[in-house]
Amino acid sequence: MNIEQSGKNLILHGVKDFYISHTFDCGQCFRWDRLDSCSYIGVAMGKALKIRQIDDKLIFFDTNFNDYYDVWEKYLDLSRDYGKIKRVLSTNDSILAKSVRFGGGIHILRQDAWECMISFIVSSSNNIPRIKKIIASLAENFGGKIEYMGNVYHSFPAPQALAKLSLDELSVIRAGFRDKYILAAAKAVASGRLDIYGLDSLPLDKAKAKLLEIPGIGNKVADCILLYGLAKYECFPVDVWMKRIMEYYYFQSERKISDVVSFSREKFGSLSGFAQQYLFFYGRENKIGTSG
C-alpha cells in the first residue's frame, strides 16, 4: 500500500482484504454511519473522519499524515496481513471458507478500551439502532466537541466525566437499567480500581476476571471488550445469535454456550476472534439458525 496527499485528503492505494461496509456493519462498533454505498462518517479515538472506498483505494477526508499514522492505521488494523489469516482459517474448513468469501473485508478494529467497555455494557439486551442512539447521546451530553468539515461532533466522555454524575443526570441518555452499570464502570476506572488500559498486558483469563468484577459485565460482554478493545484475538464472543450459528454449522444440535466457547477456542486458537467475526457476519446476514 502507498499513501498520497490530495488537497486536504489522503488517498491510500493498493488496499487488500478490507471493505468499510463489512468492517463497520459487522456489529463490533457503534459510532460509524453510512453516508452512501461507499462512504461512512464516524468518531473514534477523539477524532472525526469521513472515509470513502473506491475499489482498492481508501480516501480519508480532511486528514493529515500524522492522524493517519497515529490513529487510523492502527484503529482500522491496516498493517495486518488478513489474506494470510483468511487462508489459514479456510484450510480444511468449508464453513469458514464460505464465510470468509462472504465477509472477507472485515477487519477487527482496535478500539479504545474504555469506550469499548461502555459500548458493550450498553449493548446488553439491546439492538444496534438503540445502542448507537444511546452512545451518541452519551457523547453529545458529556463528551468534548470536535469540529470537522464544518460540522460539530463529540468525543466519547472520559471516565472521570461520567463518574461524577448522578443516576438522575445520566438518565438523559435514556439507557434504562444500564445507567447504573455505566456509572459503576466509570467509577471503577476513574478511581483506578480497574486499570482498563493495563488489561492487555495480562493473560486472557486474568484480564477477563478483572472485567467480570464490574456490575453489568458478563461473559459475552467481557469477551467483546477483550477482543475489540484489548486485542485479545483468542477470544470468541458468543451470544444467542452466535450460539445458533455454531450449532447449525458445527454441532447440528443444541449446546451450552460454554461448550461452544471451549470448542471454538480449541479449534481456532489464536485466530478465534477473526473466525468469530467471519462466521457471525455470514450467519447474521444469511439468517442462519433463526428458526431454531
The catalytic residues are: 220
Angle between the N-to-C axes of helices 179-190 and 113-122, in degrees from 0 to 180, rounded to the nearest 10 = 160
Residues contacting residue 91 through CB under 8 Å, at least 6 positions apart: none
Rg of the chain on CA atoms, in Å: 19
Cell of 69: 499514522
Residues pairing with 244 in the sheet = none
Angstrom distance (rounded) from CA 179 to CA 249: 37
Q: HSE (CB half, 13 Å, CA atoms) of 188?
A: 21
